[in-house]
Amino acid sequence: MKAFIFDLDGVIVFTDKFHYQAWKTTADSIGVYFDETINNRLRGVSRAESLEIILERHTGILSADEKANLMEEKNNIYRKLLDTMKPADVSDEVRSVLNKLRQMGFKLAIGSSSKNTVFILEKVQLRGAFDAISDGNNITRSKPDPEVFLKAASFLGEKPQDCVVIEDAVAGIDAAKAAGMITVGIGDAASYKKSDYTIRSFAELLDIELFKEPK
């Protein structure tokens, strides 16, 4: 293996609560029911696709402009919440593992559907930890499509088969497998049967036998 590609939210940082609050406020503004169960369906998908999932309970018809305004409203709320983030929001465990991987000579990248990736990394002072960023600003298809990971590998100058993806979402694991990459499931994805390896904590990443044939 030559490179590690990390999903952002749920792996490096945890902003689910901010997404939930922002989408909840947006859904309430148009009288659409929204709860944490629905919010879980939004993990790993684009903002536009997230809105369509929320609108499944909407009885009216919204124009493209109205949908765009709702997405902008949600993102404005979300970014205000993100502005409260600080370096302490990334654990010492995560920082230590990233530093160790760098010392071992691996390239590191982010592969995320979020368009706020750089903003978040700068808030937590982690922008310089990654050699490349592939995110919602340079893709047209969100996970489980492999585009975000294939572009991350391309930005790193590495072949997909030489990359390891760390993901917490099923859609992310599916995307990485479709890209031909080795997958490591954490969080919700730790119980997903398609994950090549599973870890319960970020530090366990250093203990995986990455160079033996995956199951």
Over residues 65-112, the pLDDT tens digits come to: 999 999 999 999 999 999 999 999 999 999 999 999 999 999 999 999
Residue 214 lies in a domain: no
State the chain's mean pLDDT as an integer: 94
CATH code: domain of residue 27: 1.10.150.240
Q: Which CATH number is 188's domain given?
A: 3.40.50.1000
Contact (CB, 8 A) for 143 and 169: yes
Domain shared by 71 and 140, yes or no: no
Residues annotated catalytic, as ranges? 7, 9
> Given this model, what pLDDT does residue 209 score?
79
Nearest to 5 by CA among 137, 96, 160, 110: 110
Reported pTM: 0.85
The pLDDT, as a whole number, for residue 16 is 85
Residues 77 and 32 in one domain: yes
Boundary-marking domain end, from 65, 82, 99: 82
Q: Which of 48, 66, 82 is the last residue of a domain?
A: 82
109/170 same-domain check? yes
Percentage helix, strand, coil for the chain under 3-state DSSP, each rounded to 5: 50, 10, 40
The residue out of 51, 82, 113 marking a domain boundary is 82
User: Residue 203's domain spans which residues?
Assistant: 3-13+89-207
What's the rounded mean pLDDT across residues 141-155?
A: 96
Q: How many structural domains does the chain have?
A: 2
Q: Which two tokens stand for residue 117?
A: 């990736």
Q: What percent of the chain has pLDDT over 70?
A: 97
pLDDT score for 211: 47
Can you tell me the mean pLDDT for 120-144?
A: 95
| pLDDT at residue 213 tops 70 | no
